[in-house]
Amino acid sequence: MSKLKAVREQKNLTQEELSERSKISVRTIQRIEAGTEPKGHTLRALAQTLDIEENLLQNDIAVAVHTDEKTTEIKEEAPEINYSLIKIINLSSLLCIVLPPLNILVPLLLMFTMKQRNNLTRQIISVQMLWTAVAPIVFMLGIFLKLGGPFTLILMILIALSNVFIILRNAAEIDRNKKLYFKLNFSMI
């Protein structure tokens, strides 16, 4: 049973009544009760209508385990996201700006030691991996242009500052909106 359905039934509401009070369509409520995770306005409206916290509607994960004879449903709680720890993991890349492989390893180690194995930390590390792969390519292209020593130094500084900007902008976005500003559509880990 989905978390929304359990709370709705506990409050003695039908899907239609919840729809009227929350201004969310019955079909959307049916989809959420069938397993779709509510987000944004829908999540806020349902949580406010049911007078519960938003995360109570999100943390319920159902995993179906298939056996030869029957299907068993196992419910488990999603790992809790600690945004201050995620911000620390993100900012840890700053310590290793001059040693690019460490800007991946330090956050990776912190992810496991702080037990923050979630999409946000994976995205932070994926962005650092992409930056670490692209930075030497940009540097080599700058050298092949043969514009001289001062240009090479300026290019190195700009490459390092680009990573500082990415890290600080993501930290600010984690504070404001609990998400990343610079992220990839895929995870490298």
pLDDT band, residue 187 (cuts 50/70/90):
confident
In the predicted model, what is the mean pLDDT of residues 76-83? 65
Give me the number of domains the chain comprises.
2
Is residue 186 in a domain?
no
Q: Provide the domain limits for residue 114.
A: 83-177
Cite the beta strand spans of the chain per DSSP E: 60-66, 71-77
Shared domain for 43 and 104, answered yes or no, is no
Final residue belonging to a domain, choices 30, 46, 77: 77
Is residue 185 in a domain?
no
Tell me the CA end-to-end span of the chain in Å, nearest whole number.
32
In the predicted model, what is the mean pLDDT of residues 92-116? 89
Is residue 171 in a domain?
yes
Query: Which of 2-11, 86-95, 133-142 bottoms out in mean pLDDT, i.e. has the lowest?
Result: 2-11
| Gyration radius of the chain over CA positions | 23
For residue 162, pLDDT over 50 is answered with yes
For the chain, give the mean pLDDT.
Answer: 84
Q: 33-57 pLDDT, tens per residue?
A: 888 888 889 888 988 898 888 887 8
Is residue 184 in a domain?
no
Shared domain for 61 and 114, answered yes or no, is no
Smallest CA-to-CA distance from 57 within 66, 47, 49, 48 is with 47
Final residue belonging to a domain, choices 50, 77, 104: 77
User: What's 51's domain CATH number?
Assistant: 1.10.260.40
Predicted structure pTM score: 0.58
Shared domain for 50 and 92, answered yes or no, is no
Shared domain for 47 and 133, answered yes or no, is no
Shared domain for 73 and 144, answered yes or no, is no
pLDDT band, residue 147 (cuts 50/70/90):
confident
